[in-house]
């Protein structure tokens, strides 16, 4: 019968010492906000000096979506008028 070759705890821990997650690499955008490297800026929507994401259009789309959801909830009777006003005040 073969003896099982087993690693002890210290050897396992030494091997796993390189498995730690490092912090995200952040870069400064032209607008001054911090953004993740090789990604479009969430504040202005630019990447590499060009506008990639239309932030004004995105904001309009989000407003339409929230208005439509609130209307659907009101029609189904799931949200009362006070909660509807609170949701509108938050946005």
Residue by residue, pLDDT tens for the chain (91 residues) are 677 888 899 999 999 998 998 888 999 999 999 999 999 999 999 999 899 999 999 999 999 999 999 999 988 887 666 666 676 676 6
The domain of 38 spans: 24-90
Residue 47 lies in a domain: yes
Residue 2 lies in a domain: no
Residue 59 lies in a domain: yes
Residue 18 lies in a domain: no
Residue 73 lies in a domain: yes
Structural domain count of the chain: 1
DSSP character at residue 46: E
Strand partners, 34: 28
**Do 62 and 37 touch, CB atoms closer than 8 A?**
no
Among 33, 61, 65, residue whose Cα is nearest residue 47: 33
DSSP character at residue 47: E
């Amino acid at each position: 019968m073969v003896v099982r070759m087993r690693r002890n705890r210290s050897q396992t821990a030494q091997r796993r010492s390189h498995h730690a997650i490092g912090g995200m690499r952040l870069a400064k955008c032209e607008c001054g906000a911090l953004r993740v490297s090789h990604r479009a800026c969430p504040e202005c929507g630019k990447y590499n000096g060009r506008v990639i994401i239309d932030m004004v259009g995105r904001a309009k789309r989000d407003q339409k979506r929230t208005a439509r959801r609130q209307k659907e909830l009101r029609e189904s009777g799931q949200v009362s008028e006070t909660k509807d006003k609170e949701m509108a005040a938050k946005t």
